[in-house]
Amino acid sequence: MQPTPPQPVAGLLLDLDGTLIDTEHFHYQSTLAVLVEWDLHLTPEDFVPFLGFSELPYWTALCEKFEIPSEVPYLMKRRTEEYVRILQATSIEPLPGVLDLLQHAKDRQIPVAVASASPRGQIDAGLEAAGLAQQLPIRRSGLEDVAFNRGKPHPDVYQAAAKALDADPFQCIAIEDSANGMRAAQAAGCFTVCVPCVSHPTTETHLADLAVSCIDQVKPLLD
């Protein structure tokens, strides 16, 4: 039986990278800026399998791949520094339909939170660069705001985001673009919508309860 959206909707929980903003090329650039310290290079093709990874398993896997002689916490800290530096020097547009959806949720008094796998520094920098920081003050990180090593695909960050809204995850709609993110939202009990990112569309839309081509197509679910 096909799951149905909650009625009423108690909260809208939004992934960030690939869902609200397309920043994967900045994540790639910031990774290269860290790897160059050891004269290492990651090809764009080798980066693709890591899309949607939380920071801890991401750098753990890269350490194994390259045998980097450094501790994972240092690498995570360095990449956040590079990512913030890159984002502070540019501005980006929210993905199509994002502003319409946020206004629709506001008009219907549905609270919204960001539930991202990224460190908080990266979340804040991305929202600032896209001009979304004031609209989305409630944010939960899959690194700082959950138990150690419990980022996506574990449900913790979605549970934390729902709790921040004083909402039951089962009464929330989550919007995601990655397989790990969809698994996390589903495990938390959220009605999960997949909006594949144009630059790196997932082939695993079946992991969601519903797949749409543009995020503003979620608006009818909030009515």
Tens digit of each residue's pLDDT, the chain (223 residues): 678 999 999 999 999 999 999 998 999 999 999 999 999 999 998 898 887 778 888 899 999 989 998 999 999 999 999 999 999 998 899 999 999 999 999 999 999 999 999 999 999 999 999 999 999 999 999 999 998 889 999 999 999 999 999 999 999 999 999 999 999 999 999 999 999 998 889 899 999 999 999 999 999 999 9
Contact present, 219 and 12 (Cβ < 8 Å): no
Residue type, 36: V
- How many CB atoms lie under 10 A from the CB of residue 40? 15
Q: What is the pTM of this model?
A: 0.93
Look at residue 199 in the predicted model and tell me its pLDDT: 87
- CA atoms of 23 and 7, how far apart (whole Å): 32
- CA atoms of 192 and 209, how far apart (whole Å): 5
- CA atoms of 220 and 223, how far apart (whole Å): 5
**Among 223, 221, 216, which Cα is nearest to 94's?**
216
172-176 vs 210-211, strand pairing mode = unpaired
- CA atoms of 183 and 181, how far apart (whole Å): 5
Contact present, 157 and 142 (Cβ < 8 Å): yes
Q: What are the structure tokens assigned to 184, written together?
A: 């996390």
- State the helix-helix crossing angle for 120-129 and 72-88, rounded to 10 degrees: 10
Look at residue 1 in the predicted model and tell me its pLDDT: 64
Alpha helices, DSSP H only, in 108-220?
120-129, 156-164, 179-188
11-14 vs 172-176, strand pairing mode = parallel
Q: Which residue has tokens 């650039």?
A: 29
